[in-house]
């Protein structure tokens, strides 16, 4: 059994205004899109791998797949700085960084 203590708002963090028009998991397979990834074994990474597989996206073909960071904040900072086009992070990170 699970006792829910909170819910986590997790999603695809993109630049302000979503200039690339990203909407779903399949969009991460676009040529040239640069992803910032969470570290192997993290819950966010496991979720990402499962959802990409379900969407038919080959993770190894995603630019930046090998670039790993350890926190949601690091994901947001990579997107905010323009080093990456997208990554999975919490809504709080997106809000704090103006994404």
Question: Does residue 78 register a pLDDT over 90?
Answer: yes
Please give the pLDDT value at position 24.
93
Please list, in sequence order, all residues whose beta carbon lies within 8 angstroms of the beta carbon of residue 95, skipping any fewer than 6 positions away. Answer: none
Fold for the domain defined by 10-97: D-Maltodextrin-Binding Protein; domain 2 (3.40.190)
Q: What is the mean predicted confidence (pLDDT) over 64-79?
A: 96
pTM of the model: 0.89
Question: Under a CB-based contact definition with an 8 Å cutoff, are residues 84 and 35 in contact?
Answer: yes
pLDDT tens digits along 14-63: 999 999 999 999 999 999 999 999 999 999 999 999 999 999 999 998 99
């Amino acid at each position: 059994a699970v006792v829910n203590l909170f819910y986590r708002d997790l999603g695809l963090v993109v630049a302000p205004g979503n200039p690339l028009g990203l909407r779903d998991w399949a969009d991460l397979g676009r040529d040239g899109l640069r992803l910032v990834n969470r570290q192997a074994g993290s819950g966010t990474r496991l979720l990402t791998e499962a959802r990409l597989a379900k969407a038919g996206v080959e993770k190894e073909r995603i630019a930046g797949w090998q670039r790993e960071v350890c926190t949601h904040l690091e994901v947001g900072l990579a997107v905010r700085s323009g080093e990456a086009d997208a990554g999975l992070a919490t809504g709080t990170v997106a809000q704090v960084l103006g994404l």
